[in-house]
C-alpha cells in the first residue's frame, strides 16, 4: 500500500514508498518532467539511503490526453489527483475552442484547490532587474476559486448582458453604468468562507515556517464590500484563531506593488484575492529574475489535495530542442517534498541548484545573463544537479 492517506484532522500520512500521479505536459513538458523526476529520485534515494522513494504514476491531460483518449481532461485524471492526494504536472496547452477555457482552471475548480501557493526567493547568480533581489523572500497565498476570476461574465451586446443590465436597472436601481448598450458585465463573488479558509491557511503556514507575519493585500478602499470584506474577514481570522501567534497587517494593492519594490524586506507571507494575487506573484517573480523558474502549487488543505506545477507554458518555440529550463517544475517538486514532510530531500535539491548557479551551470535562458555562465541542455543540467547533490 503506497497511497497517501488522510487522518480525520486532515493530516497526511505518507508511506515510505509513495504513489505520486504526474502529468508530463505538452511541448517542453516531455523534456522538463522526466528531468525533474530523475533529479528528485536521485535526491530522495541519496538523502534516505533507499529507505524512501516515489512511485510515479502517469496520468494524462492536454494534447497527450487528446491523442490517446479524444478528451483534454479525462475524468480518470481528476479522480487520480483526488484519490492519491498529491501530484505534479507539467505545462498544458490551452485547447482552442471546445468550451474549456483552461485545463489548469478546470483542475483547480474540479478539485476545489482554493490556495495558489507561490514562494518567491532569489538564487545567487540569477540576473535580476533590481539592486537587492536577496531582500525578497515572500510566500504568496492567492485565493484560487472566487473573485472576478470565477468566470461569471457576459459579452457586450449579448442577450444575457442585456437581461443582466435590465435586472440591475429595474430591481437594483443601478444608474451608474456609463454605456449600458455596449457594456460587458462580470460578477465578483468574494465570500466570508472563501476568505477565511485562505487566510487561515496563510496563517498556519506562517506559524509552521516560523515567519509569523501575514499581510492582507486588497483594494478595499474602492471595492468596499468585496475586497473590503476580504480585509475584514481576514483580520477576524488573525484576531480569533491566530491571536498572539501571527502579526497581521494589511496593504492596499497599489501601495503594495510600490512597497514590494522599495522595501521588500518588510513582507513575509501575503494573503490576497485571485486577481491581485495573479499580478503580485508575477511581479515578485520578475523581481528575483525568476519568472521562468518560479514554482507553484494549488492546494486544498482540508481535503489533503495538492497539485504542484510548472508555472510557465508549453514553450512550443523551443520544444524538442533540449533547451528548456526544468527549474520551475523542479522547484515545484521541492515544494511537494516539503508538503510530504521530506524536508531533507527538498533541501538537498535546493542546495544542489544553488551550487550549480554559483558555478554558472544553468540552461541557456539563465546562463546567458551569468558572468561565468556555462549553458547546458536540459538533460545535462539535470545531470549536473545530480552530480552536485551532497
Is there binding between residue 292 and ligand NAI (CB under 6 A)? yes
Q: Which is nearer to ligand NAI, 52 or 89 (CB)?
A: 89
> Taking CB under 6 A as the rule, does residue 59 contact ligand NAI?
no
Q: Which is nearer to ligand NAI, 104 or 145 (CB)?
A: 104
What grid cell was written down for 52? 524512501
Contact call for residues 106 and 73 (beta carbons, < 8 A) = yes
> Is 365 a binder of ligand NAI (CB under 6 A)?
yes
Q: What are φ and ψ of residue 375, in 5° steps?
A: -65, 135
Nearer to ligand NAI, 32 or 37 (CB): 32
Q: Does 23 bind ligand NAI (CB under 6 A)?
A: no
Q: Which of 45, 71, 94, 191 binds ligand NAI (CB under 6 A)?
A: 94
Contact pick of 325, 332, 350, 388 for ligand NAI (by CB under 6 A): 325
Helix axes 253-262, 274-287, angle to 10 degrees: 10
Query: What is the spatial distance between Cα 233 and Cα 72, in angstroms, rounded to a whole number?
Result: 38
Q: Which of residues 118, 188, 219, 312 is near ligand NAI by CB under 6 A? A: 312
Smallest gap from residue 27 Cβ to ligand NAI (A): 7
Which cell is 284 given?
Answer: 515578485
Q: Does 35 bind ligand NAI (CB under 6 A)?
A: no
Query: Which residues have a Cβ under 8 Å from the Cβ of 123 and sit 6 or more positions away?
Result: 288, 290, 353, 354, 357
159: contact with ligand NAI by CB under 6 A:
no
In angstroms, the CA 353 to CA 357 distance is 6
Q: C-beta of 311: minimal distance to ligand NAI in Å?
A: 6
Whether 42 contacts 107, CB under 8 Å: no
Binding-site residue total for ligand NAI (CB under 6 A)? 21
Question: Do residues 304 and 12 make contact, with C-beta atoms less than 8 angstroms apart?
Answer: yes
Residue ranges that bind ligand NAI, judged by CB under 6 A:
28, 32, 91-94, 104, 292, 309, 311-318, 324-325, 328, 365
Amino acid at each position: 500500500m503506497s497511497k497517501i492517506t488522510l487522518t480525520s484532522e486532515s493530516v497526511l500520512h505518507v508511506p515510505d514508498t509513495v504513489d505520486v500521479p504526474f502529468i508530463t505536459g505538452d511541448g517542453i513538458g516531455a523534456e522538463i518532467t522526466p528531468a525533474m523526476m530523475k533529479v528528485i529520485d536521485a535526491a530522495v534515494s541519496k538523502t534516505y539511503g533507499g529507505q524512501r522513494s516515489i512511485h510515479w504514476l502517469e496520468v494524462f491531460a492536454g494534447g497527450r490526453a487528446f491523442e490517446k483518449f479524444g478528451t483534454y481532461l479525462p475524468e480518470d485524471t481528476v479522480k487520480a489527483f483526488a484519490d492519491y492526494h498529491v501530484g505534479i504536472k507539467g505545462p498544458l496547452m490551452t485547447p482552442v475552442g471546445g468550451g474549456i477555457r483552461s485545463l489548469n482552471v478546470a483542475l483547480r475548480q474540479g478539485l476545489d484547490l482554493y490556495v495558489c501557493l507561490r514562494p518567491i526567493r532569489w538564487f545567487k547568480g540569477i540576473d535580476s532587474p533590481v539592486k537587492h533581489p536577496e531582500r525578497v523572500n515572500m510566500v504568496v497565498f492567492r485565493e484560487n476559486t472566487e473573485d472576478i476570476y470565477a468566470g461569471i461574465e457576459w459579452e457586450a451586446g449579448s442577450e444575457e448582458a442585456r437581461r443582466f443590465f435590465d435586472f440591475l436597472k429595474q430591481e437594483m436601481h443601478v444608474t451608474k453604468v456609463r454605456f449600458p448598450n455596449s457594456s460587458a458585465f462580470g460578477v465578483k463573488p468574494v465570500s466570508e468562507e472563501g476568505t477565511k479558509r485562505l487566510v487561515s491557511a496563510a496563517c498556519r503556514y506562517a506559524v509552521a515556517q516560523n515567519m509569523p507575519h501575514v499581510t492582507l493585500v486588497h483594494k478595499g478602499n474602492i471595492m468596499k464590500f468585496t475586497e473590503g470584506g476580504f480585509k475584514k474577514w481576514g483580520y477576524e481570522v488573525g484576531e480569533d484563531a491566530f491571536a498572539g501567534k501571527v502579526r497581521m497587517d494589511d496593504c492596499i494593492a497599489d501601495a503594495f506593488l510600490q512597497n514590494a519594490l522599495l522595501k521588500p524586506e518588510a513582507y513575509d507571507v501575503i494573503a490576497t484575492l485571485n486577481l491581485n494575487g495573479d499580478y503580485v506573484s508575477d511581479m515578485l517573480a520578475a523581481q528575483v529574475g525568476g519568472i521562468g523558474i518560479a514554482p507553484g502549487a494549488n492546494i486544498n488543505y482540508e481535503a489533503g489535495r495538492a497539485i504542484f506545477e510548472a508555472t510557465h507554458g508549453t514553450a512550443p518555440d523551443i520544444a524538442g530542442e533540449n533547451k528548456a529550463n526544468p527549474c520551475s517544475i523542479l522547484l515545484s517538486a521541492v515544494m511537494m517534498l516539503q508538503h510530504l514532510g521530506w524536508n531533507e530531500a527538498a533541501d538537498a535539491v535546493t542546495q544542489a541548484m544553488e551550487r550549480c548557479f554559483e558555478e554558472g551551470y544553468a540552461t541557456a535562458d539563465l546562463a546567458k545573463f551569468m558572468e561565468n555562465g556555462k549553458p547546458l541542455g536540459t538533460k545535462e543540467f539535470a545531470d549536473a544537479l545530480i552530480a552536485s547533490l551532497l
